[in-house]
Structure 1
Amino acid sequence: MNIFSTLEAQCRRSLLILFVAGLVFWSSLASMLPTLAPYIEDLGGSKQEVGIVMGSFAIGLLLSRPKLGYLADYNSRKLVLIIGTSVAAIAPLGYLVVHSIPLLIALRIFHGVSIAAFTTGFMALVTDLSPVDKRGELIGYMSLTTPIGMAVGPALGGFLQAKAGYTPLFLVAGGLGLLATICAIQVKEAQRVQVLHEERSQSSLKAMGQLLVSPRLRIPTLVLLLTGFGFGAVTIFIALFIRSTGVDLNPGWFFTAAAIASFMGRLVTGRASDRYGRGLFITGSLIIYGVSMLMISQAKSPQVFLLAGFLEGAGSGILLPMLITLISDRSLPNERGQVFAISISGLDLGIAIAGPILGSFFDQLGYSGSFLLGAIMMLIAAVIFVTQSSKDLSHSWRFATGRERDLYAVDIKVYDKSR
Structure 2
Amino acid sequence: MSILDTYDNLKPEQRRSLGFLLGIGLFFWISITTLLPTLPTYIKYLGGTRSQIGLVMGSFAIGLLCSRTLLGYLADTKSRKLVLCIGIFVAGLAPLGYLLIQSVFPLIVVRAIHGISIAAFTTAYSALVVDFAPIQKRGELIGYMSLVTPIGMSIGPALGGFLQEFSGYTALFITSASFGFLGLILVNFIEETSQIHHKKTSEAKGKIRNFQQMVRSHSLVIPALILLMIGLLFGSLITFLPLFLQETNLGLGAGLFYTVAAIGSFSSRIFAGPASDRYGRGPLITVSLLCYFVSMLLLTQATNSQQILFAGILEGIGAGTLLPMIIALISDRSSAYERGRVYSVCLGGFDMGIALAGPVVGSLGSNLSYQAIFTLNSSLALVAFFLFISQSNYNLKTSLSFALGKEKDLYAFND
TM-score w.r.t. the length of structure 2 is: 0.97
Aligned to 1:196: 200
1:357 to partner: Cα distance: 1.1
What's the CA shift string for 1:315-342, capped at 9, x where partnerless? 1111111111001111101001111111
Deviation per CA, 1:277-305: give whole Å up to 9, x if none. 00001001100111101111221211111
Q: Does 1:112 align with 2:115?
A: yes
The 3-state SS of whatever aligns with 1:382 is helix
Give the equivalent residue in structure 1 for 2:355: 352
Question: Distance in 2 between the 1:133 and 1:205 partners?
Answer: 24
Alignment of 1:359-378 (within 5 A): 359-378=362-381
Separation (CA, whole Å) in 1 of partners of 2:414 and 2:360: 41
Q: Give the AA of the match of 2:199.
A: V
Counterpart position of 1:327: 330
2:210 aligns to what? 206
Structure 1 vs Structure 2: percent identity of aligned residues?
A: 50
What is the DSSP-based 3-state SS (H/G/I as helix, E as strand, rest coil) of the residue aligned with 2:193?
Answer: coil
Distance in 2 of aligned mates of 1:3 and 1:202: 32
Is 1:126 the counterpart of 2:107? The answer is no
Q: Distance in 2 between matches of 1:297 and 1:363?
A: 17
Please tell me whether residue 88 in structure 1 is matched to residue 104 in structure 2: no
How far off its partner does 1:369 sit? 0.7
Superposition map of 1:20-419 within 5 A: 20-193=23-196, 194-196=198-200, 206-207=210-211, 209-412=212-415
What is the distance in 2 between the residues matched to 1:86 and 1:191?
A: 23
Q: Answer whether contact 1:192 1:333 (CA < 8 A) is retained.
A: no
1:362 is displaced (CA, Å) by 1.0
Q: Which one-letter code corresponds to 1:58 in the other structure?
A: A
Give yes or no for contact 1:70–1:204 (8 Å, CA) kept in 2.
no
Whole-Å separation in 2 of the counterparts to 1:217 and 1:326: 9
Q: Which runs of 5+ in 1 are unaligned?
A: 413-419
Report which stretch shifted further, 363-372 or 393-402.
363-372
State the alpha-carbon separation in 2 of the partners of residues 197 and 311 from structure 1: 46
Deviation at 1:197, TM superposition (A): 8.8
User: How far 1:192 moved relative to its partner?
Assistant: 2.9
> Secondary structure at the residue paired with 1:297?
helix
Counterparts of 1:371 and 1:109, CA distance in 2:
25
Q: What amino acid sits opposite 1:43 in the alignment?
A: L
Please report how far the alpha carbon of residue 230 of structure 1 lies from its aligned counterpart in structure 2 after TM superposition. Answer: 0.7
Aligned residues of 2:230 and 2:384 also touching (Cα < 8 A) = yes
Whether contact under 8 Å (1:92, 1:174) holds in the other structure is yes
- Provide structure 2 residue ranges, at least 5 long, that are not aligned to the other structure: none
Per-residue displacement from partner, 1:84-139 (whole Å, max 9, x unpaired)? 00000100011111122221000000000000000000000000000000000000
Give the 4+ runs in structure 1 shifted more than 4 A: 197-205
d(CA) in 2 for partners of 1:177, 1:60:
17
Distance 1:258 1:57 in 2: 21
Q: Tell me how far apart the structure 2 counterparts of residues 39 and 197 of structure 1 sit (CA, whole Å).
A: 52
Q: CA deviation at 1:20?
A: 0.6
What's the TM-score once normalised by structure 1's chain length? 0.96
Quick one: structure 1 residues 197 and 12, their matched pair in 2 at CA, closer, same or farther if it must change by over 3 Å? closer
CA-CA distance at 1:31 after TM superposition:
0.3
> What displacement does 1:80 show?
0.2
Equivalent AA in structure 2 for residue 44 of structure 1: G
CA distance in 1, matches of 2:78, 2:30: 28
Alpha-carbon offset, residue 184 of structure 1 = 1.5
Q: 1:373 corresponds to which letter in structure 2?
A: L
Supply the distance in 2 between the matched residues of 1:263 and 1:395 (Cα, whole angstroms): 31
> Per-residue displacement from partner, 1:191-212 (whole Å, max 9, x unpaired)?
23333299999988712x2112
Q: Does the aligned pair in 2 maintain the 1:387–1:396 contact within 8 Å?
A: yes
Equivalent residue letter for 1:337? G
Query: C-alpha separation between the residues in 1 aligned to 2:406 and 2:209?
Result: 35
Q: Which amino acid aligns with 2:138?
A: R
Counterpart amino acid of residue 206 in structure 1 = N
Q: How many residues align?
A: 411
* Distance of aligned partners of 1:48 and 1:143 in 2 relative to their CA distance in 1, 3 Å threshold: same
| 302-311 or 398-407, larger mean C-alpha shift | 302-311
For the 8 Å contact 2:209–2:338, the answer to whether it is kept is no
Q: 1:205 to 1:99 in 2, by over 3 A?
A: farther
Q: In structure 2, what is the Cα distance between the partners aligned to 1:328 and 1:257? A: 29
Secondary structure of the residue aligned to 1:95 is: helix
- 1:49-95, Cα deviation, whole Å (9 max, x unpaired): 00000000001000000000000000000000000000001000111
What do the CA deviations read for 1:247-281 (whole angstroms, capped 9, x no partner)?
11121000000000000000111001100000001
Aligned equivalents of 2:206, 2:102: Cα separation in 1: 44
User: In 2 relative to 1, CA 410–204 (structure 1 residues): closer, same or farther, beyond 3 Å?
Assistant: closer
Distance (whole Å) between structure 2 residues aligned to residue 407 and residue 127 of structure 1: 20
RMSD of aligned Cα (Å): 1.5
CA distance in 1, matches of 2:48, 2:367: 19
CA-to-aligned-CA distance 1:170-217 (integer Å, 9 cap, x gap): 00000000011111121111223333299999988712x211220210
1: distance between equivalents of 2:10 and 2:209? 35
- Would you say 1:12 and 2:3 are equivalent positions? no
- CA distance in 2 between counterparts of 1:276 and 1:204 reads 28
